[in-house]
């Protein structure tokens, strides 16, 4: 049995489908069973529980041979979400795994995770990695770049609901985007291969794209044109500071916008594909051609 925590999101959904499609039994751990309603397949279980509650994890871990943690508290509803979910929650998962005799643990981190990063998410994920490495489990850390499907989906929803696109910052910074299905294939390999135990693997996609470019390509693909509006960097910095005590989610998103617009967001070395050159490669054109991301009003 494979336990997937965070199995209802962009990556988790694709990973669960890949694992059950390969005949592996999967248990999805989620706080809300309704969020897993789109998941189907033979050998699939849904277990309701919160990784922030250590007492809720013993049953979830029963008969589990490996754990995948794809959870994240970034931009959550409270100011301590990242600490409570990414650090404390993952620590709870590792302790529960050890208590139940589970050995393999794959952690989804983020490309560029580092202790001194200017981006909070990268600092938090690095601390999560350190906790896992000290746990005594057979660990693998996967560090993806930004999920292409997530950002296309956000842009498509804005086109559909607002008739415009709002981009934090100038939107001209090249960003490496990776297909979530490509990352799911890497995680599946990490669960099955002893060669990947103790490895920290960064994975990206074949293209560096801007947010402006993504919006333009999405609109062109579906024959529509809406205004692209930009929130200036000085305003984003002000929002990040002033809204932190009262609107932590908005403040975090503003900070994220500054980081994505001003920091290096390309991937220097794709260590995952260097190890596994046979991993699938998803391009923007592939998703657009498949119409897997489409504004609801078109």
Please, what are the domains in the chain?
2-146+179-205+267-281 (3.40.50.720)
Q: Which of 262, 116, 113 is nearest to 175 (CA)?
A: 262
Q: Answer whether residue 298 shows pLDDT above 50.
A: no
Q: Answer whether residue 198 shows pLDDT above 90.
A: yes
Query: Which tens digit of pLDDT belongs to each residue from 93-136?
Result: 999 999 999 999 999 999 999 999 988 889 999 999 999 999 99
This prediction has a pTM of 0.93
Q: Which of 190, 199, 271, 243 is nearest to 75 (CA)?
A: 243
Q: Which residues of 258-267 are buried (b: 16+ CB within 10 A; e: fewer)?
A: bbbbeeebeb
Q: Answer whether residue 297 shows pLDDT above 60.
A: no
Measure Cα distances from 65 to 61, 97, 144 in Å.
9, 9, 24
Query: Which tens digit of pLDDT belongs to each residue from 242-290?
Result: 998 888 888 888 999 999 999 999 999 999 999 999 999 999 999 999 8
Indicate the pLDDT class of residue 25, thresholds 50, 70 and 90. very high
Looking at residue 291, what is its pLDDT?
Answer: 66
Looking at residue 56, what is its pLDDT?
Answer: 85
Query: Which tens digit of pLDDT belongs to each residue from 47-84?
Result: 999 999 998 899 999 999 999 999 987 755 444 467 78
Beta bridge partner(s), residue 3: 27, 67
Looking at residue 90, what is its pLDDT?
Answer: 94
Give percent of the chain with pLDDT exceeding 90. Answer: 79
**Pairing of the two strands 207-209 and 175-178:** antiparallel
Residue 116 and residue 77: Cα distance in Å, rounded? 25
Indicate the pLDDT class of residue 294, thresholds 50, 70 and 90. low
Bigger pLDDT: 279 vs 85: 279
Query: Which tens digit of pLDDT belongs to each residue from 134-163?
Result: 999 999 999 999 999 999 999 999 999 999
Query: Which tens digit of pLDDT belongs to each residue from 154-188?
Result: 999 999 999 999 999 999 999 999 999 999 999 99
Looking at residue 258, what is its pLDDT?
Answer: 94
Looking at residue 296, what is its pLDDT?
Answer: 44
Rg (CA), the chain: 19
């Amino acid at each position: 049995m494979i336990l997937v925590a965070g199995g209802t999101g962009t990556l988790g959904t694709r990973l669960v489908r890949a694992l059950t499609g390969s005949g592996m039994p999967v248990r999805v751990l989620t706080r809300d069973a309704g969020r897993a309603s789109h998941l189907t397949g033979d050998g699939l279980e849904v277990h309701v529980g919160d990784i922030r509650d250590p007492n809720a994890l013993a049953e979830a871990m029963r008969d589990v041979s490996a754990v995948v943690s794809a959870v994240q508290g970034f931009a959550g509803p409270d100011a301590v979400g990242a600490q409570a979910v990414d650090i404390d929650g993952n620590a709870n998962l590792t302790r529960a795994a050890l208590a139940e005799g589970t050995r393999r643990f794959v952690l989804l981190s983020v490309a560029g995770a580092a202790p001194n990063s200017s981006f909070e998410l990268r600092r938090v994920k690095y601390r999560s990695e350190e906790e896992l490495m000290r746990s005594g489990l057979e660990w693998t850390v996967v560090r993806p770049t930004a999920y292409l499907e997530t950002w296309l989906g956000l842009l498509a929803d804005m086109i559909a609901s607002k008739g415009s696109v709002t981009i934090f910052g100038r939107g001209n910074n090249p960003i490496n985007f990776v297909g979530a299905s490509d990352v799911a294939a890497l995680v599946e390999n990490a669960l099955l291969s002893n060669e990947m135990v103790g490895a920290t693997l960064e994975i990206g996609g074949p293209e560096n794209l801007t947010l402006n470019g993504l919006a333009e390509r999405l609109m062109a693909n579906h024959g529509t044109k809406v205004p692209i509006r930009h929130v200036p960097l000085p305003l984003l910095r002000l929002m990040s500071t002033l809204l932190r005590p009262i609107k932590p989610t908005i403040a975090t998103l503003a900070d994220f916008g500054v980081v994505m617009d001003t920091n290096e967001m390309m991937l220097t070395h794709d260590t995952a594909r260097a190890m596994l050159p046979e991993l699938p490669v998803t391009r923007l054109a592939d998703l657009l051609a498949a119409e897997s991301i489409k504004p609801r009003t078109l």
